[in-house]
Amino acid sequence: MQSRELVIPQKHANVIWWAAWLSLGAAWHAVYIQQPGFGIVPTCVLCTSLNYWRNPVRTSWSRTVDIGVVWGSLCYQNAIAYYMKHQQYQRVYFGCIAVSGACYVLGHFFMALNMPRASAYAHAGIHVVANIGNIVLQRGQMP
């Protein structure tokens, strides 16, 4: 029998669900700058994150898919950024990834302290900063 335990109470998960919509901005930006291929990653993350955070059950296929898509996207985009010609964009992109990672760790820290609201806002910070990084990556790939 599968547990229906939520990772975080739904009222706090809703903060993350709304923050996930920021991926739409990065996807639209990719199309706007005529780099539509760079819109695929934020669109996939948008879909899997919205699906998961609407009902964040700890043991679920939607969580597994969301985490898999995010990690796969991160690896893919890091590889692109590693070979980026414009080093100023590369530095800003990797800085955004580092800050996103810090938000992730902070979210876990707040959950360990039984502070789900602070944890939700820390996780929302991942979406904010990572999508800034997505836009920086897209700009750095412009001809």
- Would you kindly state where each structural domain of the chain is located, as residue ranges? 10-140
With a cut of 50, list the residues of the chain below it in pLDDT: 1
**pLDDT tens-digit profile of 97-138?**
999 999 999 999 999 999 999 999 999 999 999 999 999 999
Q: Residue for token digits 């998960």?
A: 13
Predicted TM-score (pTM) of the model is 0.91
Residue 143 pLDDT: 67
How far is 31 from 26, CA to CA, in rounded Å?
9
What is the DSSP annotation of 2-45?
----BSS-HHHHHHHHHHHTHHHHHHHHHHHTT-GGGGHHHHHH
Residue 3 pLDDT: 66
- Cβ pair 18, 123 in contact under 8 A: no
Residue 1 pLDDT: 40
